[in-house]
Structure 1
């Protein structure tokens, strides 16, 4: 039964992807359909049109296999060895610095949002 629920949730998320792709094709939006679908999910969750519990375990299932999707991109880098032989070696420190910068900004933002949510909860509990 749990697998069936996850499949339904993944199908629901896939529906947002399909809608995003359709909007991309019809409206010629300069974003990929997958990003448009992601924004639609975010908007639906933010406006409480859909409940997080309706997609939570399906989303966790997809996120658990997400690293597998990066393997083809990593292997494809092997086709550009000539690029890395010159000044491409500068990409390594740039990648490391940008990764840590992204992690730092993401952690700062998530902690700020969590603190703000805690303050709202504490304020609503007092009323």
Structure 2
């Protein structure tokens, strides 16, 4: 029973962050979606130690475990655009594959850059 209450409070906390971020976006006319702002707020709060990981850990693990279920409505919605996919499917495929490759290249480049900077730090600290 105690675990269920903790889980429910954690889910309510995540919903509160989501609702607060949507409120901020609505009344400040920010250019990013509320859910993205919510993730940024949660990340910053976790990084700064304002929110402890154990405040959201069980709910987050559960939601990530069942993440595939959240995509079912979108997959069904895509099915209604069958004609568009038939006529422009190859364009969509090229865009998806292209943007994925670009994202991977940028991510790997940044990873290599940051890891080389980290190695330089260690080399400099070892030489001192």
TM-score by length of 2: 0.71
Checking the alignment, whether the CA contact within 8 Å between 1:10 and 1:55 is kept in structure 2 is: yes
- Of structures 1 and 2, the one scoring higher in RCO (CA 8 A, sep 6+) is 1
Counterpart of 2:123 in structure 1 is none
Matched with 1:39 is 40
With structure 1 as the length reference, what TM-score do the two structures score? 0.72
User: Is the 8 Å Cα contact of residues 6 and 61 (structure 1) preserved in structure 2?
Assistant: no
> What does 1:1-127 correspond to in 2, within 5 Å?
1-92=2-93, 94-96=95-97, 98-99=99-100
1:22-78 CA-partner distances (Å, limit 9, x unpaired)? 101111111121111111111100111111111111111111222111111111112
Q: Structure 1 stretches (4+) deviating beyond 4 angstroms?
A: 96-110
How many residue pairs end up in the alignment? 117
8 Å contact 1:20–1:37 — kept in the other structure? yes
Runs of at least 5 residues in structure 1 that lack an aligned partner in the other structure: 117-127
Cα RMSD of the aligned pairs, angstroms, is 2.9
